[in-house]
């Protein structure tokens, strides 16, 4: 991500419909699993720490990110032990340590996604869990991906193969952000063909009007009642829960 975007993320992620909705969906999936009372949890690519409050109530929270400016925002939350690191090789923790690793929209940033997942797998205790989300469908590629330094987007079959090759057993994998998929896909496609739209919406880090934000959150977060029970066939993103 461009360094100048971190202040915008920090200002938005506690209230913006997409961040709040994603947290609600992740929390619902994490409610499916049983963690020990003294669970050690790692937030990989934590950014400015938007997931910290959701994760810290589940155990002792650690977090890493390669960007020092992002870590400064994350440190202000006071909920996690922070370290600078970058997968797959700059990983500051010992093997077989964590009960849960969370990677929300991280894999798409990494040159070596398979090697990174193998490092994550080695950091988990036997039976440990991974929750990961990634953007879906290369044909949705837009200036948003460029501004956020994405390397790729994924399909369900590709993510499934990647997790399996890294040694994970998949508990649940599905597309999500499906209810808003037609509208978001249309906007992304317009960004690719219309210079004015592309210039004005390069990274999507803007807060909608309060009523619009509330409606979008309600629509998006409804999916938390479907995911885990059903696999959605299309969506802007993918979510997977797997264990080692």
Give tens-digit pLDDT for 100-125. 999 999 999 999 999 999 999 999 99
Residue ranges of the chain with pLDDT lower than 50? 200
The whole-number pLDDT of residue 189 equals 85
**Domains parsed from the chain with CATH numbers:** 3-243 (3.40.50.150)
Q: Structure pTM? A: 0.93
Instruction: Name the residue among 17, 53, 28 with its Cα closest to residue 220.
Output: 17
Structure tokens at 49: 């720490």
φ/ψ (deg, to 5) at 110: -100, 135
Q: Are 222 and 22 in contact (CB under 8 A)?
A: no
At 80 the three-state DSSP class reads coil
Q: Which long-range contacts (CB under 8 A, 24 or more apart) does 117-121 make?
A: 117/162, 117/163, 117/165, 117/166, 117/168, 118/88, 118/166, 118/167, 119/87, 119/88, 119/89, 119/91, 120/44, 120/87, 120/166, 121/166, 121/167, 121/168, 121/244
pLDDT, one tens digit per residue, over 32-60 is 999 999 999 999 999 999 999 999 999 99
At 229 the pLDDT is: 92
- pLDDT of 6 reads 82
DSSP state of 2: -
Q: What is the pLDDT of residue 206?
A: 86
């Amino acid at each position: 991500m461009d360094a100048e975007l971190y202040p915008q993320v920090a200002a938005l992620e506690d209230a913006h419909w997409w961040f709040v909705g994603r947290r609600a969906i992740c929390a619902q999936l994490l409610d499916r699993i049983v963690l020990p009372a003294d669970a050690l949890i790692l937030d990989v690519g934590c950014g400015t720490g938007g997931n910290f409050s959701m994760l810290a109530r589940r155990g002792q929270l650690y977090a890493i990110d390669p960007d020092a400016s992002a870590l400064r925002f994350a440190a202000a939350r006071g909920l996690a032990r922070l370290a600078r690191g970058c997968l797959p090789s700059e990983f500051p923790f010992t093997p077989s340590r964590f009960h849960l690793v969370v990677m929300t929209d991280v894999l798409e940033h990494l040159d070596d996604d398979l090697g990174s997942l193998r490092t994550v797998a080695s950091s988990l205790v036997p039976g440990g869990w991974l929750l990961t989300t990634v953007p879906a469908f290369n044909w949705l590629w837009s200036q948003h991906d460029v501004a956020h330094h994405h390397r790729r987007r994924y399909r369900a079959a590709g993510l499934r193969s990647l997790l399996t090759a890294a040694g994970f057993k998949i508990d649940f994998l599905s597309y999500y952000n499906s209810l808003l998929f037609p509208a978001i896909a249309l906007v992304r496609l317009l960004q690719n063909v219309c210079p004015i739209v592309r210039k004005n919406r390069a990274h999507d880090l803007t807060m909608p009007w309060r009523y619009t934000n509330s409606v979008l959150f309600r629509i998006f977060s409804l999916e938390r009642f479907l995911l885990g029970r059903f696999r959605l066939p299309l969506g802007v993103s993918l979510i997977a829960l797997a264990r080692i």
